[in-house]
Structure 1
Amino acid sequence: MTISKPVFDRLGFWLWVGSFLVVLGLVLWSPNTRSVVHIYRHGSEAFLSSQPLYQVEVAMGYLYAPAFAVLYVPLLKLGPYLGDFLWHALGFGVLTFAAMRQVRKVGGQEPIWLLSFGLFLALPVSLAALRNGQATILLAGACWFLTLSALEGRRAESFFWASLAIIAKPTAIIMLLLAGALRPRLIPVLALAVLVVLAIPYGFASTDYINAQYHDFFRMLTSMAVDPTGPFVPADFTAPFTRLGMTLPELDATIVRFVAGLLTLWVVLQFDRRLDANVSGLAIFLVAAFYMCVFNPRVEQNTYAMVAVPAGLSIALLWREKRAGTMRWLLAALLFATGLTSIDGRLHDLFHPWFRPISISIIALVLIGWFLTRGSEKMPAAGSVAHG
């Protein structure tokens, strides 16, 4: 046992790293195969030539803030091989180190096993997004770092990670709003991060051009809605209804998103108040990532990579609970199997896009309930003095 245990402790971690090394090999072999990075290159090329970035009518193609086009220019200049290599490595590195920081904060027994098992469970759901080079990976890592930095009251770190998250994807504003609600003293820092990101493009192009891009950018953001006739197939909570031919009206979907947002805020505040400070960051980011995947109207199947790693680490944490024998097995199996629904074309056609919002919702809601129960067990009894 003294020989085999370290191997199994690290098996999941090395599978995570090894799979990514295979991804890097595929990127170097064929940069444009199964990749969305060409969209980022196109955005930077359009920015450098002062061409329109957005297709507002179809809301497809380049969907990022103008600052993304600016900051991707150095990678564009490095070419499709080295540039894509560094882009993939950036997203993977940020997400992996965020998970490692979270595990160090959780502490407890066998932290290496906790990280390894969590990454192993998350790998199938995450692998396609890692292969495609999607900004979702960078978004997940930046938002996770922002969560931890905000809870610790680190202003400079919060500013940096908030800026990077907004650049990665505009949906990061959800995490900034939650961070501001958790730590109101950071609101000026978070607002400054948004202003800096908005201001970055003005240093590299004419004011008239940037103003026109922001006009199209905000028009595009406000026009995104549930449209089964359009080219985009959403994989959010509306997908199961769409699969059954029951398209939800836009107003009804908006009401559901709003109510879910209020519930998310309430749960996050409860976690911050009730849970141990070493665990609250994981629980809070899990809830935020769940909302950003299931209730974001611009969700596709690979977006669920954002919630995969926090869900995997949460299940690994749950694994320590002896009372949760059956539940932990079911959650682990469901998360791992969810990522396997696209390994074959026939399976993909059968499960896309309705299955992931259902399976991830089941996993997240069970874990949220477990975190709430865990928090209530640590609350002081009625009539006791909470702070001595």
Structure 2
Amino acid sequence: MMVTKPVFDRLGFWWVGSFLVVLGLALWSPNARSVVHIYRHGSEAFLSGRPLYQVEVAMGYLYAPAFAVLYVPLLKLGPYLGDTLWHILGFGLLTFAAMRQVRKLSGQEQTWLLSFGLFLALPVALAALRNGQATILLTGACWFLTLSTLEGRRAESFFWAMLAIIAKPTAIIMLLLAGALRPRLIPALVLAVLVALAIPYGFASTDYVNAQYHDFVRLLTSMTVDPTGPFVPADFTAPFTRFGMPVSELDATIVRMFAGLLTLWLVLQFDRRLDSNIGGLAIFLAAAFYMCVFNPRVEQNTYAMVAVPAGLSIALLWREKGAEAMCWFLATFLFVTGLTSVDLRLHDLFHPWFRPISISIIACVLVAWFWTQDRQKVPVAGAVAHG
């Protein structure tokens, strides 16, 4: 097997090229296939003192009040410039997080690792990039939080934790893992949450903000695995629902709790066993996998969160000799997973049950590979499977 370096160095830059196409489409039609209008609606409602949430249907604006404040400057810039800057913010943050991770990996061919990993992740991540979903911002912030936590950087951890919790409340999972990894950072993480909660009070009356938080808590607690509601979850319960074996809310909660404890144990073991060069990637991959597959509010595009760390992990594995069949399988499987929505008929066939299965297989194989690594088995320069 030969994977030609120049070819994939160029193909990897399709990550940037595809994003430029996304920007062009966003400018051409700001509201087409986009969720950004929901963010604008939230900011407009906040500025006018109207309710942010539709608790009864658990749809529409699903973010913390601080997110509405965050988006206000972009709202003021209008749907063209504001939406463009929003897309750039998410894309840039995620890309720089991947670049920071790759710089920490030992060995040579770091440009190839980055470009090939991003190329493999592109089909899964492209729809979320096109839609301008906050998942992209969340992924970048959580990845930076992981790396800052492992390095023990208090100020950086505080900032990234605050941004992550503002982007989506599910970031609390990553904050809990960060606190378990570095207990001395717990005060900074707690302060980040408190600051994020306090931000809206600086821009609206106390009574109004209190009412929004009351509705926000009700909204979070009302999200279930009920397949009869307007939201169709794409988490681990989706395959069971699709094939006529729906999982009860109690059983799903038990599975999520067990998976959460297993993920906590796993990231602690990775922190102890792995060299710091690859430990951050392994830990974030495990955390992102949990946040996608076991989060009750998962959409198909949420899997963009695990796509990039999975792509980089496959590229890292590819540098090792003796795993050719596994590399081909993982790379092809990840790339093809993102192509199951290119056609409406394929989308109807595979949505929403296929992605949790495929991503689970890919993530579990990669986690198992990381588990076999230790401080003496870190990939080194020269063990490169491409010319």
**TM-score tier (shorter):** over 0.9
8 Å contact kept, 2:275–2:375: no
Q: Secondary structure at the match of 1:232?
A: coil
Letter of the structure 1 residue corresponding to residue 170 of structure 2 = T
The letter of the residue matching 2:149 is A
Cα distance in structure 2, aligned partners of 1:40 and 1:135: 9
The Cα offsets for residues 188-225 of structure 1, whole Å up to 9 and x where unpaired, read as 00000000000000000000000000000011111111
Distance (Å, rounded) in 2 between the aligned partners of 1:228 and 1:6 = 46
Q: How is 1:328-339 mapped onto 2 (pairs within 5 angstroms)?
A: 328-339=327-338
Cα distance in 2 for residues equivalent to 1:296 and 1:80: 31
Shift of 1:29: 0.5
Aligned to 2:385: none
Partner of 1:76: 75
Normalised by the length of structure 2, the TM-score is 0.96
C-alpha distance in structure 2 between counterparts of 1:237 and 1:142, whole Å = 24
**Structure 1 SS opposite 2:346:** helix
Equivalent residue, structure 1, for 2:382: none
Q: Which residue matches 1:177? A: 176
Residue 312 (str. 1) matches residue 333 (str. 2): no
Where does residue 265 of structure 1 map in the other structure? 264
2: CA distance, partners of 1:376 / 1:94 = 30
Instruction: Kindly provide the amino acid, as one letter, of the partner of residue 80 in structure 1.
Output: P
Deviation (angstroms), 1:325: 1.1
Runs of 5+ consecutive residues of structure 1 not aligned to the other structure: 380-388
- 1: CA distance, partners of 2:250 / 2:357: 21
Partner of 2:111: 112
Deviation at 1:328, TM superposition (A): 0.9
1:246 Cα deviation from its structure 2 partner: 1.0
1:114-156 per-position Cα deviation (integer Å, ceiling 9, x unaligned): 0010000000000000000000000000000000000000111
Instruction: Encode CA deviations 1:67-120: one digit per residue, 9 max, x unaligned.
Output: 000110000000000000000000000000000000001131100000010000
Match of 2:254 in 1: 255
- Displacement of 1:9 in angstroms is 4.9
Q: Which amino acid aligns with 1:151?
A: L
Q: Is the 8 A contact 1:285 1:310 kept in 2?
A: yes
- 1:293–1:299 Cα contact (<8 Å) kept: yes
Cα deviation for residue 376 of structure 1 reads 8.1
Deviations 1:216-245 (A, max 9, x none): 001111111101110000000000000011
Aligned-pair identity (%): 83
Letter in 2 for 1:244: F
Report what 2:29 is aligned to: 30
Equivalent in the alignment of 1:383? none
**Cα offset, 1:330, TM superposition:** 0.2
- Cα deviation for residue 13 of structure 1 reads 3.0
Partner of 1:226: 225
Map residues 264-303 of structure 1 onto 2, 5 A cutoff: 264-303=263-302
Runs of 4+ in 1 over 6 A off after TM superposition: none
**Larger RCO: 1 or 2 (CA < 8 Å, sep 6+):** 2
1:269 CA drift (Å): 0.4
Report if the CA contact (8 A) 2:128-2:301 is conserved: yes
Residues 270 and 282, structure 2, Cα contact 8 Å, conserved in 1: yes
Once residues 193 and 69 of structure 2 are traced to their aligned partners in structure 1, the CA distance between those partners, rounded to angstroms, is 15
Q: 1:203 aligns to what?
A: 202
Ranges in structure 2 where 5+ consecutive residues have no aligned partner: 379-387
Deviation string 1:4-52 (CA, Å, 9 cap, x unpaired) is 9774252133100000000000011000000000000000000000000
Residue identity matched to 1:90: L
8 Å CA contact 1:12–1:119 kept in 2: the answer is: no
In 2, Cα distance between the equivalents of 1:213 and 1:29? 34
1:322 corresponds to which residue?
A: 321
What's the counterpart of residue 363 of structure 2?
364
Q: Which amino acid aligns with 2:59?
A: M
SS in 2 for 1:245: coil
Could you tell me the TM-score, scaled by structure 1's length? 0.95
1:240 matched residue in structure 2: 239
Out of 308-317 and 12-21, give the one that drifted further: 12-21
Q: Equivalents in 1 of 2:360, 2:12: separation in Å?
A: 25
